[in-house]
Amino acid sequence: MSELSLRGVFAPTLTPVRADLSIDLPAYIEFCKRLLEGGCHGLVLFGTNSEATSFAATERMAAVDAVIEAGIPASKLVVGTGAASIFEAADLTRHAVQSGCRGALTLPPFYYPGVSEEGLFRSFAAIFDRVNDERLRMYFYHIPQVSGIPLSPSLLTRLAQAYPGQAAGVKDSSGDENNLLGLHEVARNFPGFAVFCGTEALLLKNMQGGGGGCISGMANVLPHVIRDLYDNWQAADAEERQNRTNWVRDAILDSGYNMIASLKVIVADQTGRKGWSRVRPPLVDLTKAEQEQLLARLSPPVPA
Amino acid sequence: MSELSLRGVFAPTLTPVRADLSIDLPAYIEFCKRLLEGGCHGLVLFGTNSEATSFAATERMAAVDAVIEAGIPASKLVVGTGAASIFEAADLTRHAVQSGCRGALTLPPFYYPGVSEEGLFRSFAAIFDRVNDERLRMYFYHIPQVSGIPLSPSLLTRLAQAYPGQAAGVKDSSGDENNLLGLHEVARNFPGFAVFCGTEALLLKNMQGGGGGCISGMANVLPHVIRDLYDNWQAADAEERQNRTNWVRDAILDSGYNMIASLKVIVADQTGRKGWSRVRPPLVDLTKAEQEQLLARLSPPVPA
């Protein structure tokens, strides 16, 4: 089996904001270090759980710069570079590549619904062509329940054929196991093409199918538990380790609160920094009562 | 009846692109002049028909600058300033206000689906507060079939109460007559609050209900026909004038082709500039055969 372009447990890093809604860079850098020390192989800066698209392109690039300047190796960073505009996505992608980052996780343009496969192919192709840098490794981001724009196996096949090696993989955040299995079929045709799942709940199945790992929101609060599963996916008790990742996600889903706002509340609790519970609109912070209800549901509490 | 903040027929101006997909500014400026001479009271630069969100914020601001520098009065311009990021939307809105433009047509943040009314209120409030300029007149953009994010009458009421005079109106592109009538109810409570329809097919009904006019994609190719209806909406034969606006839209809808790509083909035909038929991905140009089929359906042809 050839080596995959990327492997491991990655956190789509939550983005702390100040009261004025700007990114709290010191808290951000501290958190990035915490996640790497806690078990993550690397970080995805500006994924969906990072509220990526809620930040302007200029803010996103400045935050990547700040993280690298703080001493976090760019080789551990994948940057979410999706935007409604392919020119903006190309600017973000070029910046990530020129900063030495490991890869770009790229959404399709997400404003117009119902666009064709041809339109999506041209969109990603335009980003590749504008960046025009052989160091680029692009991971395509399938999260149709949020973006509204599914990426089909045939589109991914076409991209992998057109940009061999550089079309480096896919993140499947649909949560649909059958879709994930279909992506393994695509990957088998392209050496190095790495399939990541967006929920750690499918991590064991993804590893069994030859995938690269997970890029999971829950890795923001449970990096060590997910890393334990990743390291031991071939162990006899792997199912049990898989089940040990479940309780926080289940508690959030049972609460009915927004996943991103909930994860931030848990980080506020873990770090003792109350400001962590803030989100940028259009998301809404949990109220104090909601925060207490969420934390009370977590039994055992999430370890700090 | 108090004077509305904005009245007239506005074209959400199509944006010509070169083969490298950058905005063709000379063609753009020429087209803006053509529309104003052709009957439009004003232009909405960077609405949905303009492929607004397909362009980076920097491109959008540079294009507004170029149009004003070419001598088109800023008082005739409303600028579409919506973005997935409220900070980016605020940057675009501030630029429009400081350029002397008449108003901003602003989408809600459109990446995350299912956000709450509170989250949308906070989003628009953050834009107002960051721009912090009493000259700002904001028109809220309801186009749920594209953005995925409806703006409810109760949200609009809350915004009009919080930003009196500055929350200046709404554009309803849903095409839903009942929704439009509901917005007239909202408008009655707020002097000057102007209701625009996004399809000229509802222009007569909108004027009868006290609305301000239309911001209609079809005004890119039929400004004089729509202006005629606007000028004569109280005439005995207004229904007949309304019907005279229909044939181009009907032909495009019957063709099944993308509306924006189709309008650009018609402008290419009107102006004799073939490059006009280009769109930026994720939209896809009509093929030559499709272009011919579309134009053949238009009987009579759209006058140049």
Tens digits of residue pLDDT in A8-62: 999 999 999 999 999 999 999 999 999 999 999 999 999 999 999 999 999 999 9
Instruction: List chain B residues with pLDDT less than 70.
Output: 1-2
CA A55 vs CA A15, A274, B132, B154, B235: distances in Å: 10, 21, 19, 27, 50
CB neighbours of residue B75 within 10 Å: 9
Per-residue pLDDT at A1 exceeds 80: no
pLDDT of the residue at A299: 81
Say whether B281 and A122 touch across the interface (CB within 8 A): yes
User: In terms of CA atoms, which chain B residue is nearest residue A258?
Assistant: B115
Q: Which residues of B touch A146 (CB under 8 A)?
A: 111-113
Q: Is A34 on the interface with B (CB under 8 A)?
A: no
Write down the pLDDT at residue A55: 98
The helix (H) or strand (E) run that includes residue A212 is: none
Contact between B284 and A59 using a beta-carbon 8 Å cutoff: no
The SS3 of residue B198 is coil
Q: Which of A55, A110, A120 sits opposite B87 (nearest CB)?
A: A55
Query: Is some CB atom of chain B closer than 8 A to the CB atom of A91?
Result: yes
pLDDT of residue B187: 98
Q: Which residue in A53, A87, A282 is closest to B119 by CB distance? A: A282
**Average pLDDT in chain B:** 97
B120 chain-A contacts, CB cut-off 8 A: 281-282
pLDDT tens string A182-220: 999 999 999 999 999 999 999 999 999 999 999 999 999
Please determine, for residue A271, whether its predicted confidence score (pLDDT) is greater than 60.
Answer: yes
Mean pLDDT of A98-113: 98
Q: Helices A153-162 and A177-188 sit at what angle, rounded to 10 degrees?
A: 30
Helical axes A153-162 vs A117-131, angle rounded to 10°: 30
Among B123, B72, B125, B127, smallest CA distance to B102 is for B72
Q: Does B126 touch chain A (CB under 8 A)?
A: yes
Hunting for tokens 């309304």 — which residue is that? B242
Paired strand residues for A12: A44
The pLDDT assigned to A300 comes to: 83
User: Which amino acid belongs to residue B116?
Assistant: S
At a CB cut-off of 8 Å and minimum separation 6, what does B220 contact? B11, B12, B13, B14, B35, B49, B263, B267
Contact list, A83 vs chain B (CB under 8 Å): 56, 84
Q: What is the pLDDT of residue B209?
A: 98
Mean pLDDT over all residues of chain A? 97
Q: Which helix (H) or strand (E) holds A201?
A: none
Residue A2 confidence (pLDDT)? 62
Residue A115 is predicted with a pLDDT of 97
The token pair that represents B243 in the structure block? 């019907």
**Measured between beta carbons, which residues in chain B are less than 8 angstroms from residue A21?**
86-87, 126
Whole-model pTM: value is 0.97
Write down the ipTM of this complex: 0.97
Predicted local distance difference test score (pLDDT) of residue B160: 98
Find the residue in B nearest to A125 (Cα). Answer: B281
* CB proximity B174 to A under 8 Å: no
Q: Which chain A residue lies closest to B260 (C-alpha atoms)?
A: A112
